[in-house]
Structure 1
Amino acid sequence: MQRRQMLKLLGGGMLGGGLTGLCGPGAAATACGGYPAGDRWAFDVLRHDAVIGDHVFTFSRGTASRDTAPRDAGDFVVEVAIDITVGFLGVTLFRFTHRAEEIWRGGLLQALTSETDDDGTLWQVRYERQGDNLRGSVNGAPAEGPGDILPASLWHPDTPRATRLLDTVDGGIKPVAAVVLAPPPAGHFRLTGGIEREVWTDAACGLTRVVFPARDGSLITLARR
């Protein structure tokens, strides 16, 4: 397998690859309680039925591992860790690492920070709420987004209502169209446009499975453990 082929392996930075019109939690979020009830979701990342990495969400209240933005005791904190390595005959051909933190208050995103190494391409994203908007930087360049947007991490139950998502890898605003194939809470929906994902959720509206095309046409699957 050539390295050039492996560089095409993954598209869109896993779940974070990148809604306006939402003023706080919508109908789906209200039905599902707005935030996940548990404190951790862990997924195997698979390609051709082989595990190539891990994708882990950690949920907490008022605390986080990185001191990136001011937070209140009642803030809801989402941390995402992705580690993927693809090798051949003992040689690493592709590596992807991603760390992100979201801070939520009153149903709205207050801050988003992320650092990504996409096989040598580095991304650093910083957003904080300023009034009705999110402002910050992407790799040091000024960036801005609407204050009611959802990140493309997909955990939020209002994601099927998305028309745009904030890409947590490159910080861009990505237009999407969502089709609900089965209603929540045990739902199934598909995103197309700037981000392509097929997503399944359980009776608690938690993610259970995500499938999307890689750049080389193969399918990447996130399967919850």
Structure 2
Amino acid sequence: MRRRQVLKLLGGGTAGLGLGTLGAIPAARACDLFPRQHAWRFLVLRHGNVIGEHLFTFSRRPSKGGGDFVVEVAIDIAVDLLGVTLFRFTHRAEEVWREGWLHSLISATDDDGALWRLESQRRDGALRGKVNDVPFDVSGFVVPASLWHRDTPRTQALFGTIDGRVKVVRSEALGEEAVKVGGDRVQARHYRLTGQLERDIWYGPDCGLARVAFPARDGSLITLERQ
């Protein structure tokens, strides 16, 4: 079944999921559409031990319609025991945003030996592409599950940047908390995502992603701490 058909079954089309709102998502408070920083670097921790790095890089790129905003994501994780690697995860992705809309997304992922290749581009009002040669299309405004976007806690569906699947989620605002970002502590808004994607996410005063926590497949807690 094609992705568009799945979305219609879930909620009468993408609008029922909050993914096809066609720009109707209200703007976040006093926040830029895109981050002003050039990069965010996170350490990935498990049981308090560093097991990897998660890096976002932001840049501008000339395009026919003006300037594209480009988000590059690099994740490298390895869990070792007595010199033996028990688990390895690598992910590379590039999101290209044009006039506030996700224009294209490509990614390559090695999830402990399971390989994923995703290529997509916006055409005729939908994000269309393939994951491991299986076609998909998602219409409407798309917020990716990379979590950096300011509207992540404000939508009811996130687009999986690894497998291309739409994740139906619920978001709960848990108030403000002080979290560590680099050497400072900042007040951050805490949200909890549940459903087909489980994440605790914190956004700082500028709406930048400040911290992430989620359960791993083995039940351990994984934390991303921004440096």
Correspondence for 1:163: 156
Conserved 8 A contact 2:21-2:140: no
**Shift in Å, 1:61:** 0.4
Conserved 8 A contact 1:29-1:35: no
Correspondence for 2:215: 213
Identity of aligned residues (%): 56
**Shift in Å, 1:73:** 5.1
Conserved 8 A contact 2:211-2:225: yes
SS in 2 for 1:177: strand
Q: CA RMSD in A?
A: 2.0
TM-score after normalising by structure 1: 0.84
Correspondence for 1:92: 85
SS in 1 for 2:200: strand
Correspondence for 2:23: 24
In structure 2, relative to structure 1, the CA distance for the partners of 1:154 and 1:125 (3 Å cut) is same
SS in 2 for 1:160: helix
Moved >6 Å (runs of 4+): none
Partner amino acid, structure 1, of 2:175: A
Partner amino acid, structure 2, of 1:97: T
Correspondence for 1:172: 165
Equivalent residues in 2 for 1:113-192, closer than 5 Å = 113-182=106-175, 186-192=188-194
Question: Does residue 88 of structure 2 align to residue 83 of structure 1?
Answer: no
Query: For the residues of structure 2 that align with 1:28 and 1:188, how far apart are their CA atoms?
Result: 18
Aligned residues: 201
Partner amino acid, structure 1, of 2:115: L
Higher normalized strand content (fraction of residues):
2
Correspondence for 1:37: 36
Query: For the residues of structure 1 that align with 2:94 and 2:161, how far apart are their CA atoms?
Result: 9
Higher mean displacement: 78-87 or 185-194? 185-194
Query: For the residues of structure 2 that align with 1:20 and 1:87, how far apart are their CA atoms?
Result: 39
> C-alpha offsets along residues 23-74 of structure 1, whole Å, 9 cap, x if unaligned?
33743446211100101000000000000000000000017xxxxxx77651
**Shift in Å, 1:100:** 0.4
By relative contact order (CA 8 Å, sep 6+), the higher-ranking structure is 1
Query: For the residues of structure 2 that align with 1:72 and 1:99, how far apart are their CA atoms?
Result: 26
In structure 2, relative to structure 1, the CA distance for the partners of 1:200 and 1:134 (3 Å cut) is same
Partner amino acid, structure 1, of 2:153: P
Question: Does residue 42 of structure 2 align to residue 46 of structure 1?
Answer: no
Partner amino acid, structure 1, of 2:56: F
* Structure 2 unmatched ranges of 5 or more: 1-17, 177-186
* Structure 1 unmatched ranges of 5 or more: 1-18, 64-69
Correspondence for 2:203: 201
Query: For the residues of structure 2 that align with 1:71 and 1:85, how far apart are their CA atoms?
Result: 40
Partner amino acid, structure 2, of 1:117: D
**Shift in Å, 1:217:** 1.4
In structure 2, relative to structure 1, the CA distance for the partners of 1:201 and 1:30 (3 Å cut) is closer
> C-alpha offsets along residues 57-111 of structure 1, whole Å, 9 cap, x if unaligned?
0000017xxxxxx776510000000000111111111110000000001111000
